[in-house]
Amino acid sequence: MAENDVAVHPTASVHPKARLDPGVWVGPGCVIGENVIVHKNTRFDSHVAVAGWTEIGPDCHFFSFSSIGNEPQDVGYRGDETRVRIGANNVFREFVSVNRGTAKGGGLTQIGDDNYIMAYGHIAHDCRVGNQTIMINGATLGGHVTVEDHVMISAFCAFHQFSRVGRYAFVGGYSVITQDVLPFSKVAGQRPVHIFGLNTLGLRRKGFSKERIVALKGMFKIFFFSNLNTAQAIEKIQAEYPAGEDRDEIIRFVQTTKRGIIKKTAEAWDLESE
């Protein structure tokens, strides 16, 4: 296959109006719809279905039987021209599904760059997924869920509609998330979900300095263990820590929550050993 060629297997079905950029590979049994745009060097293995008004960035890889851009699983959907937009260098493993948006939800399901979505994952209508996230097998996002950058979601987690997950958070396996997950935190569990402290190991792997982690631990102690209400805890954090990216992000996230923040602390949370 030459650099500027598009390779389409004889058993694949690509609509003549679909746009495939140079270097795109379409494997056996794939179906690419009329309103699909695929940028360069993206690869579809066998039996991938891409439908609707879907745009896929360069250098993505879709493994067998993934389904991208089909109608949202919303009983109010009436064939509206809603969209899926996917960035660059993403991997979608076997049987992953991504549904397009709904008119009432903004009309767009959006996924950023450098994400890895493992087998049987589901991203529902109107979700927003950032950059460099990992969703392990069977993780499921309900409609309108927001997942920010550098998040790790473990296997078979389920997220309630409109919940949010802040940057650099870690969600443990089989968790049922019905409220917002604070940035930099580590949560797990079912009814209730518990917070297990700062995602220290994840932050170290992402290059956070010791000083930055110590400051985040201090803010977490105030927010979760000071016996202050939310407004008082924010005021104390503002008084004790100078303005900066991490402090301001935590405060913004808390102040903009609509479903509340997961705050129930786990008995296993040892602040000194974190």
Residues annotated as part of the active site: 125-126, 143
- To 10 degrees, what angle do helices 210-225 and 230-240 make? 150
- Residue 25 CB partners (closer than 8 Å, separation 6+): 1, 6, 7, 42, 43, 44
CB 28 within 8 A of CB 7: no
Specify the residue for token string 């939800």.
105
Rounded Cα distance between 30 and 6, Å, is 14
Rounded Cα distance between 139 and 97, Å, is 11
Short-list 63, 128, 61, 52, CA closest to 94:
63
Other beta carbons within 10 Å of 261: 19
Whether the CA torsion 18, 21, 22, 25 is positive or negative: it is: negative
Rounded Cα distance between 33 and 49, Å, is 8
